[in-house]
Structure 1
Amino acid sequence: MSHKPIAGLSGASLVAGIFAYTRFNSFPSLIASFGVGSVMALSSMRIRDGMEYGYEGAAASSAVLVVPTLRRAIRTRTPIPATVCLLAAASTVYYVREIAENSKHAVI
């Protein structure tokens, strides 16, 4: 039950977007990474503060990040998109498990 994995992935997403923009002049990558990174940062703050939908936002934004980074990792065969893709997949699994764990302990 930690906000740190999604906060770290938010930073990695932002850095990867900036790297893609500077290296390949990819403006869509920059915009998308700032969008997904912002949702991740918001989810991190919601988890940290004990607010609702923090885990769901973290799982959804991590899952959204997997698809484009997987495509880019396959196409370019470079380590940065592959690493971000693996981190996003691990984050998705982590937060889905947290959601399942929290729903199991929920009082109805």
Structure 2
Amino acid sequence: MAEHPSFTLAALLPIGGITGFLKTRSLPSLIAGVTLGVSYGYAGTLIKKNQDYGTELALGNSVVLLGSAIPRIIKTRARAPMPLALGATGLLASLYYQKKVREFRYGV
């Protein structure tokens, strides 16, 4: 069941990246959305097949998502909804997957 958030983000991030590109012609949004979406999809597949490093990859993706949102949250002074949503999603996914990494590694 730990793969569910990865597959959800794998579907949503490319849609968001494409939407961001169509709205603002932001090539970084397109590249980041599609790349992170593919990476989350791969992480979800690894997790589902119980293979190594799936949760670690999902955690890394989550940290990247959070890290990419922080400068935009600061730039917009936390008034724009999209950077806030991306930041919150990245934070929640990071917390979830760090918990999963600890459970799988240490049985905690």
Deviations 1:22-41 (A, max 9, x none): 11100121012111111111
SS in 2 for 1:50: coil
Q: Deviations over 1:26-73 (max 9, x none)?
A: 012101211111111100111111111100000001101111122223
**2:33 maps to amino acid:** S
C-alpha distance in 1 between matches for 2:52 and 2:103: 15
| Pairing 1:1-108 to 2, within 5 Å after superposition | 1-76=1-76, 77-105=79-107
* Gaps in structure 2 of 5+ consecutive residues: none
Task: Please give the root-mean-square deviation of Cα atoms over the aligned residues, in Å.
Answer: 1.7
Where relative contact order (Cα < 8 A, 6+ residues apart) is larger, the structure is 1
8 Å CA contact 1:16–1:81 kept in 2: the answer is no
**Aligned pair count?**
106
Q: TM-score, normalised by structure 1?
A: 0.87
TM-score normalised by structure 2 residue count: 0.87
One-letter amino acid matched to 1:6: S
Asked if the contact 1:9/1:88 (under 8 Å) is kept, the reply is no
Determine what percentage of the aligned residue pairs are the same residue: 28
